[in-house]
A and B are shown apart, each in its own frame.
Chain A
Amino acid sequence: MKLNLKVWRQRDSVDKGRMVNYEVDADEDMSFLEMLDVLNEKLILAGDEPVAFDHDCREGICGACSMVIDGQPHGPQKATTTCQLHMRHYSDGDSIVVEPFRAGAFPVIKDLVVDRGAFDKVIQAGGYVSVNTGSAPDAHATPVSKVAADRSFAAANCIGCGACVAACPNGSASLFLGAKLTHLGEMPQGQPERYERVVNMVETHDDAGFGGCTNTGACATACPKEIPLDVISQLNRDYLKATVAGRRNRG
């Protein structure tokens, strides 16, 4: 099939950037990234620069790929990262617009590559259990109910891609943040630091340039791992408890 691509090209972080049209021949078994590989091979041989984009696992798990396709982060298919989107969902003659994830906290580095370092900063603020290596009790010392473990897993499933931020009109990372707080908050091991964690992580989230949450729900719709919106409710509940009720016991 012949496709008309409109791709965001931007030399570096200071360049203004622009949309550029390309034609590419694709095959229905290709993944979206393989279609871009074909485009890039063509560009290189023609003496042009290939389109830069982040990717690594191409299995939907590393969270590296990050494109807005026809206005949707990771494209049209539900619960699917860009690398797992396949061209059989397109037909001959289609036009496709490809842009980077855009958000205040994710500056563009080049073409479709953005800087998501702010996510790591949010985790640094408390997205962990403070145990040193070697100090752990036997794994069976603390039973964890299957329900809690499953809920925790569903949130821990977040791949840190940033689609939620790109989808949010405010550029908020509340879904990402709520996912980590729920992952740790559902486990007994996460309890001792629970309230301190939420305060520190929210503070860092705001300082990193992410916007506030106004409950549009766009994040959960875009999320390739279907992180449920109620992780944000948990975030809000814990935050309220920690601040208003003065449950912040340390620091």
Chain B
Amino acid sequence: MTDAHTTTPVNYSDYETGEPVVDKAGPSGPIETRWERRQFGVKLVNPANKRSKKIIVVGSGLAGGAASATLGEAGYQVSTFCYQDSPRRAHSIAAQGGINAAKNYRNDGDSVYRLFYDTVKGGDFRARESNVHRLAEISRNIIDQCVAQGVPFAREYGGLLDTRSFGGVQVSRTFYARGQTGQQLLLGAYQALERQIHAGTVTMFPRHEMLELIVVDGRARGIVTRDMISGEVETHLADAVVLASGGYGNVFYLSTNAKGCNVTASWRAHRKGALFANPCFTQIHPTCIPVSGDHQSKLTLMSESLRNDGRVWVPKQLGDDRGPNEIPHDERDYFLERKYPAFGNLVPRDIASRAAKEVCDEKRGVGPSGLGVYLDFDDAIQRLGRPAVEAKYGNLFEMYERITGEDPYKVPMRIFPAVHYTMGGLWVDYDLQSTIPGLYVAGEANFSDHGANRLGASALMQGLADGYFVLPNTIGDYIATNNLDPVPDDAPEVLEARRSVDDRVETLLSINGTRTVDSFHRELGQIMWDYCGMERTEEGLRKALDLIPELRREFWNNVKVPGTGAELNQSLEKAGRVADFFELAELMCLDALHRNESCGGHFRGESQTPDGEAARDDDNFGYAAAWEFTGRGQAPVLHKEELEFEYVHPTQRSYK
């Protein structure tokens, strides 16, 4: 049985380093024309042939929705899957702040090159230059496309698009639709997708969860899904498979992700041979509403834009238990302004998060749990007047009050960092193809563009760039150059994949132990937060690498999943996802342990500058770490992709 626990022959952390992994698809030469040259080099599929070519897309978020619609328009036969009841509910819907594009409508010195530069630097020099440059180029087409779809972006009185500056960059390049940019962009993609469903080019499978990848002769040829209503296990075959299944932040249990976000699609592909790159690169967002108790099921993000006018502080004195309004200004520690006078409250996310953790570690945190800092609008209200603050942030203040019961116009908000985004993901080449031929990965599920830290408003850009513009072009090359024979329904690889899904479902249902899936997930999340969160140390990571397999073993012996497999069974769905999170968690800790440097969202306690800032080690770690699966609990093999920086020269970030 695939999921029975086997004893570990080699210590998990004694990994070996294998052959380097190389991006063979990306052209060299001048970076400005690489994408153009790649597009020209792509072999085209005869339009008449497209109709007979089948592509599976797992995911209906910005990446999957945009890819499905565009591939449908191009004439392919597309099957699209999502676990929600409608593709419109993909987690992209929740993105608030905005989407970057190098339009330079403001004439403030923005350009494709500047967006490229900012993204490579913001990613702390752990992303591939070619991909990032392409992303910056395409960013402009995205805005055009979305406007043409009728996306109601914010506008100025003259009727032109409004922009704002976001996430510590000095130009105003972020397009937005109130605090609901993700919603409006996703509805644009969703509507384009529904149009193709109507036209018959795309078949939609909502409430279908992908549980296995089918690999035949080394190529991705299909997936096995479970119909979440009937429980039926189904086979879907195709010429190519696209995973656009989102990020894995929910490995921490508490995160700003939607409850259903999971790693299963990516992890199943990883187990079948797709390398998983930089799993430990996680983004922790500084401004989220703090945990209020053990019942907490998810965390809510408060838009980063609040830091434009809000001031972050904690009491200077240890054990000061006065209410925030009773603490005079000179007894408050505005710690971001103190430590980073140049950027103040606007330092990048990773820095703001770590500074908040530091003051809470010193026991100066606020709120019932001591895990919180104030975000205060007192000065802003005095300076601008309440109506101006209301106009800018009214909806966010309301949301805060709805959740906490406190009025932020009167009492400062309490915020704390929370897991928000995962930069790591399946390794892909310039064409977005994974190490399994015919398996493409788009959006947050791949590792491609953000290096060790993602800039605000860049995930939406990447999801739509991948989905609308990159993947529909590059996948044609694979289809045109590989004339694939149809795979019979009863091919041994198909039967094996189905059997492994059946076995897993059956095992989970038969354990009938004494603990719920959620209780395991919470415990796993706590381990990850404590040891693989904002600050990681060798000691902590080794401890996590002991605790995780122990807990995983208990899970497989003691989890209780009620009901049957032949019905809507939400406990069973969760159990399958948590089972995969266990394996991912172990890999994340190993990746974090092996990367003995601090970079971006990955802060190793051992690798600091004398004044406590992150110290990168380019000589030893200037690569993307792509891991090969060798068996559950068994040491994986590391493949390095050496990163070259021909254009943006690595420098140490400084925000002092």
Residues of A within 8 A of B (CB): 11-12, 27-31, 33-35, 37-38, 41, 44-45, 47-50, 52, 54-64, 77, 80, 84, 86, 88, 109-110, 113, 115-117, 119-120, 123-125, 127-140, 142-146, 149-150, 152-153, 156-157, 159-160, 183-184, 186-187, 189-190
Nearest B-chain residue to A80, judged by Cβ:
B402
Q: Is the CB of B180 within 8 A of A157?
A: yes
Q: Is the CB of A50 within 8 A of B570?
A: yes
Q: Is the CB of A146 within 8 A of B150?
A: no
Stretch at the interface among B184-192, B426-434, B485-493, B585-593: B184-192
B165 within 8 A of A: no
| Total chain B interface residues with beta-carbon distance under 8 A | 78
Give the docked Cα–Cα distance between A157 and B87 (Å): 16
B293 within 8 A of A: yes
Stretch at the interface among B137-145, B386-394, B646-654: B137-145
Q: Which residues of A contact B147 (CB under 8 A)?
A: 136, 139, 142, 189
Q: Is the CB of A62 within 8 A of B144?
A: no
Interface core residue of A80, A123, A143 (most chain B CB under 10 Å): A123
A128 touching B161 in the complex, CB below 8 Å, given contacts A44-B571, A140-B105, A149-B155: no
The 4 closest A-B pairs by CB, nearest first: A143-B159, A136-B148, A128-B191, A29-B292
Q: Is the CB of B145 within 8 A of A133?
A: yes
Name the prevailing secondary structure of the A interface residues: loop
A68 to chain B, nearest CB (A): 17
Provide the B588-624 mask, 1 if CB < 8 A to any CB of A, else 0.
0000000000000000000000000000000000000
B540 within 8 A of A: no
Q: Is the CB of A38 within 8 A of B148?
A: no
B534 within 8 A of A: no
Stretch at the interface among B22-30, B541-549, B559-567: B559-567
Q: Which residues of A contact B93 (CB under 8 A)?
A: 57, 61-63, 159
B551 to chain A, nearest CB (A): 18
Q: Is the CB of A37 within 8 A of B402?
A: no
B516 within 8 A of A: yes
Q: Which residues of B contact A149 (CB under 8 A)?
A: 152-155
Q: Is the CB of B560 within 8 A of A138?
A: no
A48 to chain B, nearest CB (A): 7
Q: Which of B148, B177, B295 contacts A189 (CB 8 A)?
A: B148
Q: Is the CB of B86 within 8 A of A124?
A: no
B235 within 8 A of A: no
Q: Which residues of B contact A134 (CB under 8 A)?
A: 141, 145, 468-469
7 cross-chain CB contacts under 8 A: A29-B292, A31-B403, A45-B514, A50-B562, A57-B93, A128-B149, A142-B147
Give the docked Cα–Cα distance between A116 and B145 (Å): 29
Q: Is the CB of B148 within 8 A of A129?
A: yes
Q: Which residues of B contact A52 (CB under 8 A)?
A: 568, 570
Give the docked Cα–Cα distance between A124 and B298 (Å): 33
Q: Which residues of B contact A62 (CB under 8 A)?
A: 84, 89, 91, 93-94, 258
Q: Is the CB of B89 within 8 A of A117?
A: no
Give the docked Cα–Cα distance between A187 and B206 (Å): 30
Give the docked Cα–Cα distance between A183 and B187 (Å): 11
Q: Is the CB of B295 within 8 A of A37?
A: yes
Q: Which residues of B contact A30 (CB under 8 A)?
A: 293, 295
Q: Which residues of B contact A160 (CB under 8 A)?
A: 86, 88-89
A26 to chain B, nearest CB (A): 8
Interface core residue of B85, B87, B563 (most chain A CB under 10 Å): B85
Q: Which residues of A contact B518 (CB under 8 A)?
A: 37, 41
| Known A30-B295, A120-B194; further 14 A-B contacts with Cβ < 8 A | A44-B516, A56-B89, A58-B298, A77-B402, A115-B85, A123-B194, A124-B194, A125-B198, A128-B150, A128-B192, A131-B149, A131-B192, A132-B70, A138-B144
B460 within 8 A of A: no
Nearest B-chain residue to A66, judged by Cβ:
B85
Q: Which residues of A contact B258 (CB under 8 A)?
A: 56-58, 62
A122 to chain B, nearest CB (A): 9
Chain B, range 170-199, C-beta contacts under 8 Å to A = 177-178, 180, 183-184, 187, 190-192, 194-195, 197-198
Give the docked Cα–Cα distance between A34 and B143 (Å): 38
B279 within 8 A of A: no
Q: Is the CB of B159 within 8 A of A146?
A: yes
Q: Which residues of B contact A186 (CB under 8 A)?
A: 152
A140 touching B195 in the complex, CB below 8 Å, given contacts A59-B94, A146-B155: no
Q: Which residues of A contact B570 (CB under 8 A)?
A: 50, 52
Q: Is the CB of A156 within 8 A of B152?
A: yes
A139 touching B143 in the complex, CB below 8 Å, given contacts A44-B516, A58-B259, A62-B84: yes
Q: Is the CB of B89 within 8 A of A63?
A: yes
Q: Is the CB of A127 within 8 A of B402?
A: no
Q: Is the CB of B152 within 8 A of A123?
A: no
Q: Is the CB of B571 within 8 A of A136?
A: no
Q: Which residues of B contact A120 (CB under 8 A)?
A: 86-88, 194, 197, 204, 206
Q: Is the CB of A144 within 8 A of B472?
A: no
B350 to chain A, nearest CB (A): 23
Give the docked Cα–Cα distance between A115 and B86 (Å): 10
Give the docked Cα–Cα distance between A119 and B206 (Å): 13
B362 within 8 A of A: no
Q: Which of B103, B161, B571 contacts A50 (CB 8 A)?
A: B571
A13 to chain B, nearest CB (A): 9
Q: Is the CB of B150 within 8 A of A187?
A: yes
Q: Is the CB of B148 within 8 A of A131?
A: yes
Nearest A-chain residue to B197, judged by Cβ:
A124
